[in-house]
Structure 1
Amino acid sequence: MPKFVEGFAARITVPEGQRDVLVFDSELPGFGIRKFASGRTSYFVKYNVGAQQRRHTLGTVVAGNLKAMRLEASAILAKARLGTDVIAEKRAAAGRRIITLGEIVPIYLEVRKGDLRDRSYTAAERYLQQSWKPLHGVALDSIDRANVVRVVGELERDSGKVAADRARTALSTFYAWAIDRGYVDANPTIGIKSRSQSGPRKRVLTEGELVAVWKASGDDRYGRIVRLLILTGQRRAEIGGVSWPEIDLARQQIDLPEHRTKNGRRHLIPLSDAALALLPTAPDDGEGMLFSKTAGGFTGWSKGKLDLDASLPEMPSWTVHDIRRSVVTGMNEIGILPHIVEAVVNHQSGSRGGVAGTYNHAEHIDEKRRALQQWGEHVTALVEGRISKVVPMRAPQKASADMAGEIAVHARRGTSA
């Protein structure tokens, strides 16, 4: 057996009457050259895996590729000694259908539908179906960190840092499930840092800023939602996802069931005169959503906020959740007792947390109704440029700051603020 050198294949001759000839390298047993009577020449490697004998073509002989072909042959022979059959692997890969992100997302959502709360499911569906749509046609196991970073960057630019982070979290949760189900072996979101701030937000809008937001909010669905948030201090998903069966017009209140609240507790939200005026006309059948034509509630948060910000070019950066913190602060500053403010926003801490929260089932409904009516009159006076008849009290101001800070911390931790 000769040792292969560059140009050796040209000197090989095929005996007359034969179709081809195989010549093996003396330096690397199993590495060979196959030459046909037509003159076509290629490198190959011959190996055994158990009792199975294989011969794998490496490539056509061309000037300068001997070294590369020998290295490839050496790698295949090393795998064979460990029991790996590269031919079998290639055949399996060729017969395996490519599975894309867009194919598996609906399966994931169907499986998780019974496990997630309505709003959590709606958020997961929105992020996976809309935010990650640019990657739906990509093979699930081909999506890498660079793909994810590119889409996260686009979301940060178009929808903001918080939306980008939430979309990343939704994809990370999806991949954790996909790994458990055997669809993929790795999560491409690992190591991608949060785009939003690392600490809890403390932004409290001034009365002037609340008025500016109110006036910039139009009479469309998003505008009415924002104004209702200013009047009630609730979470945006609780108002944006309100359905007509949850509205009790006779009692002038919203009745949120346990699965619609963050702390899993039924929550009654009295509606002030100003809040009632913002409700759209009720349908004859009393069914459906207030601010959406489809189940799941309002979905145009990003566009609505961008349009609103465009109307407030001089206003410092703020988020919709800052409204909730601002309402808590404002209600305390006009003298509403802290435990009533907590009841209004369904915040489980202090007098409502721990053992006290477990055994105190009092809704404080009458106090909540008076508090929200008082707050509604205060906001209306501010918007109309009148002097509010509600006289601020100084005593609760420390409680106001403490509670607003506590809500920020709870929001950061993902608890029931």
Structure 2
Amino acid sequence: MAVSNITIRAVQALKPGETIWDADHREAVRGFGVRRQRDQATYVLKYRVFGRQRFVTIGPHGAPWTPELARKEAKRLLGVVANGKDPADEKAKKRLQAADPLRAIADQYLRNAKQRLKPRTYSEIERYLLVSWKPLHPVSVFQITRRHISARIADFASAHGAVSAARARTALSSMFNWAIREGLEIAANPVLGTNRPAQPGSRERVLTETELSAIWHACGDDDYGRIVRLLLLTAQRRDEVGSMQWAELDTISGLWTLPGARTKNRREHLIPLVPAALALLPSRRSGRDYLFGDGPRRGGDPHRGFSGWSKSKAALDERIAEALGESLPHWTVHDLRRSASTVMADRLGVLPHIVEAILNHVSGHRAGVAGVYNRARYAAEMREALERWAEHVAALPAQRPGHAGAGPRPDFFQEAAGVHS
């Protein structure tokens, strides 16, 4: 061990196992040294903190570390010691933080989320975290800043729209909140304080009778066509119908019982199925729990419902455009639910609380224990309202018959014999 001025020439002259400690000049830093192990010279700092002698590695000789830069870093580290902190602990903490890239934390969060979220919600969050935020996957969650997030949100909004960008932002924020609650020493959720993309207000599109007729008559006699017609007749949500299970149905009494695990508000929902809806149910397929979707014979998963939403919707829109000679203004299958409830309330005279019961909305007098009794009490009124709605749909005139695909038979709404056991 030698005490000398640490210069480039002195470092290059070091032999394996030798160490030089900085001294003999005005800029010397006590405890700053360089040692060679085998063929690599490394700058180090020796110091005492809390009565213990400690060593911390500054870095190997070579870019970026020169004797001058390493000496400046040694001075900085001694300042950390003077403030009562241990640079070795700080460095170890940084190494641990660097071992927590966004992708690793996202995977941990998704494993937890899969146990408590509905499949569709989980699938969307998974897509946002694993696809939308992929450019930040290698970055430690401790090093992600608001600037990182804001820049990515802006890029994503330009490519995919404000709504998707806002949802991607929410998914990331939820992950950071979970990580903090799990004990990661993240100073603050970096998503907070970033601008949320401006989004359009809630959709208020109510389809006209011409549009409803075009959609109805363009539906083919396949899974998607039956689903769309059931969505219109029952006024329920897309995935509730698309993942309908045989165990939920009582075709004799004409009741569909949606378990709380499959409803948005987590409350069991009883929906009367009128003859027109019952006639749309497909034949029961061996080995399948679900009414819709690919069966085992077609290589599909017997434990999931319908999944080909986007492609089937595009095909339906093409048939509608062919029948009408022009495309419908943008619409979604959720517009069917809004249109059904609006027409029932505004044109068919269905009382608001009955419409709410059909939609499984819970408010006011339907909340709490009374809601259980109200559901039973309103069953007859709900059935009557849905029958009047089915008659209204049946009376919709076909748009250019013969061009929109297979429409319903003249006796379709009276044909309860179409129900399959």
Same fold, TM exceeding 0.5?
yes
How far off is 1:140 after superposition? 6.0
Does the Cα contact within 8 Å between 1:42 and 1:61 map onto a contact in 2?
no
Does the Cα contact within 8 Å between 1:9 and 1:61 map onto a contact in 2?
no
How far off is 1:318 after superposition? 3.5
Structure 1 residues not aligned, in runs of 5+ = 387-417
1:340 matched residue in structure 2: 354
1:30 matched residue in structure 2: 30
Distance 1:284 1:181 in 2: 45
2:386 equivalent among 360, 363, 372: 372
Sort the Cα spacing of 1:305 and 1:43 in 2 relative to 1 into closer, same or farther, 3 A: same
Distance 1:187 1:58 in 2: 32
Aligned 1:373-412 pairs, distance under 5 A:
373-382=387-396, 384-385=398-399
How far off is 1:245 after superposition? 0.6
Distance 2:292 2:157 in 1: 28
1:248 matched residue in structure 2: 250
Sort the Cα spacing of 1:187 and 1:252 in 2 relative to 1 into closer, same or farther, 3 A: same
Distance 1:151 1:294 in 2: 38
Counterpart residue identity of residue 202, structure 2: P
Distance 2:13 2:143 in 1: 48
1:133 matched residue in structure 2: 130
Asked if 1:330 is matched to 2:331, the reply is no
Sort the Cα spacing of 1:35 and 1:237 in 2 relative to 1 into closer, same or farther, 3 A: closer
Does the Cα contact within 8 Å between 1:132 and 1:151 map onto a contact in 2?
no
Aligned 1:85-124 pairs, distance under 5 A:
85-90=86-91, 98-99=99-100, 108=109, 111=112, 116=116, 120-124=117-121
Sort the Cα spacing of 1:74 and 1:303 in 2 relative to 1 into closer, same or farther, 3 A: farther
Q: 1:336-358: CA deviations, max 9, x gaps? A: 32233232222334664689757
How far off is 1:385 after superposition? 4.7
Sort the Cα spacing of 1:380 and 1:360 in 2 relative to 1 into closer, same or farther, 3 A: closer
**Between 339-348 and 82-91, the greater mean CA deviation after superposition:** 82-91
Structure 2 residues not aligned, in runs of 5+ = 295-300, 401-421
Does the Cα contact within 8 Å between 1:101 and 1:138 map onto a contact in 2?
yes
How far off is 1:143 after superposition? 7.7
2:408 matched residue in structure 1: none
Aligned 1:158-177 pairs, distance under 5 A:
161-177=162-178
Q: Name the SS of the counterpart of 2:391 in structure 1.
A: helix
2:410 matched residue in structure 1: none
How far off is 1:69 after superposition? 3.5
**Between 319-328 and 167-176, the greater mean CA deviation after superposition:** 167-176
2:213 matched residue in structure 1: 211
TM-score in terms of structure 2 length: 0.69
Q: Name the SS of the counterpart of 1:47 in structure 2.
A: strand
Asked if 1:229 is matched to 2:243, the reply is no
How far off is 1:269 after superposition? 1.6
Asked if 1:259 is matched to 2:273, the reply is no
Aligned 1:70-89 pairs, distance under 5 A:
70-89=71-90
**Sequence identity percentage:** 37
Counterpart residue identity of residue 60, structure 1: H
Counterpart residue identity of residue 29, structure 2: P
How far off is 1:249 after superposition? 1.4
Q: Name the SS of the counterpart of 1:205 in structure 2.
A: coil
Sort the Cα spacing of 1:150 and 1:222 in 2 relative to 1 into closer, same or farther, 3 A: farther
How far off is 1:207 after superposition? 1.9
Q: 1:335-394: CA deviations, max 9, x gaps? A: 2322332322223346646897576344432332232222223223325259xxxxxxxx
How far off is 1:268 after superposition? 2.0
Q: 1:69-107: CA deviations, max 9, x gaps? A: 443222211112234333444456658893565655565
2:415 matched residue in structure 1: none
2:407 matched residue in structure 1: none
Counterpart residue identity of residue 282, structure 1: R
TM-score in terms of structure 1 length: 0.70
Distance 2:399 2:14 in 1: 105
1:391 matched residue in structure 2: none
Aligned length: 376
**Between 342-351 and 267-276, the greater mean CA deviation after superposition:** 342-351
- Over the residues paired in the alignment, what is the CA RMSD in angstroms? 4.5
Distance 2:345 2:164 in 1: 30
**Between 272-281 and 229-238, the greater mean CA deviation after superposition:** 272-281
Distance 1:33 1:252 in 2: 85
Does the Cα contact within 8 Å between 1:22 and 1:33 map onto a contact in 2?
yes
1:398 matched residue in structure 2: none
Does the Cα contact within 8 Å between 1:267 and 1:346 map onto a contact in 2?
yes
Sort the Cα spacing of 1:363 and 1:92 in 2 relative to 1 into closer, same or farther, 3 A: same
**Between 265-274 and 192-201, the greater mean CA deviation after superposition:** 192-201
How far off is 1:126 after superposition? 0.7
Does the Cα contact within 8 Å between 1:9 and 1:41 map onto a contact in 2?
no
